[in-house]
Amino acid sequence: MLQRRRRTVGQALVEFALSATVIFLLLAAAVDLGLIFFTLQALRAAAQEGATYGSYPVVVTDNNGQVTEVRLNYQEIFNRIRTAGGTRPSGVANLLDLNGDGIDDAGQSVVFNASNPTNPNGFVIIENPKGSNPASLSGACATSTPRVDMRNAGQNCWIRVTVRYRYRFFFPFALGQEIILPVTYTMPIRSQFVG
């Protein structure tokens, strides 16, 4: 009888160890999935903020007041994305440090380069594609040709903002230490200028 009781206690310990491991894994997965969800929401808001600001292009004139170009202000779009959550890091996603290196992204060309805003390796990618169907956008809208694309009230011109974020798992297991979360937002250009 005593030997049977010891076996039962040992069996209960083994069952608890196995079930506790599964329960802990499920809890850890729930925590990380929740954090990923909230991070994606912050990224979506940032991409939408950048695209909304960028959907109103800048009209560039020469010394005589003649329009020479209608273009996007890439640096200010980037600033709008960074500060979509405020000017200090808060919440789940730190939009001021998208690449997760602990340094403010303001001067890092690895994160965003205003002279090459479509860099596919950047953490902020700003494109100005054209086309009548948002599902098949390609190329780039002309910015300086009179009565074409951006100088034709932005007809069939779009702004596409992609924000990428290096998410570090709270409970890193088999998935690795981190993943890159991308969010893309596309809007039509709302220019009123023709000429």
- pLDDT greater at residue 40 or residue 134: 40
Quickly count: other Cβ atoms within 10 Å of residue 128's Cβ. 25
User: How confident is the model at residue 124, as a pLDDT?
Assistant: 96
Range with lowest mean pLDDT among 40-54, 60-74, 169-183: 169-183
- pLDDT greater at residue 195 or residue 144: 144
CA 10 – CA 44 distance, rounded (Å)? 51
Q: In the predicted model, is pLDDT for residue 123 greater than 70? A: yes
Q: Using an 8 Å Cβ cutoff, are 163 and 39 in contact?
A: no
pLDDT digits 0-9 by tens, 3-14: 666 667 678 888
How far is C-alpha 54 from the geometric centre of its chain's CA atoms?
Answer: 15
DSSP state letters, 63-95: TTS-EEEEE--HHHHHHHHHTTT-SS--SSS-T
Name residue 173's amino acid: F
Residue with tokens 């074409």: 148
CA 93 – CA 165 distance, rounded (Å)? 8
CA dihedral sign, ordered 145, 118, 92, 97: negative
- pLDDT greater at residue 25 or residue 159: 159
pLDDT digits 0-9 by tens, 170-187: 888 766 889 999 999 999
CA 120 – CA 161 distance, rounded (Å)? 12
Nearest to 118 by CA among 154, 89, 77: 77
User: How confident is the model at residue 172, as a pLDDT?
Assistant: 82
Q: Which residues pair with 161 in a beta bridge?
A: 126, 185
pTM above 0.95, yes or no: no
Show the beta-strand stretches assigned E in 14-135. 58-61, 67-71, 124-127
- For residue 107, give both structure tokens: 């001067």
Using alpha carbons only, give the angle 136, 137, 142 rounded to the nearest 5 degrees: 155
- Longest CA span, the chain: 104
Using alpha carbons only, give the angle 90, 53, 72 rounded to the nearest 5 degrees: 125
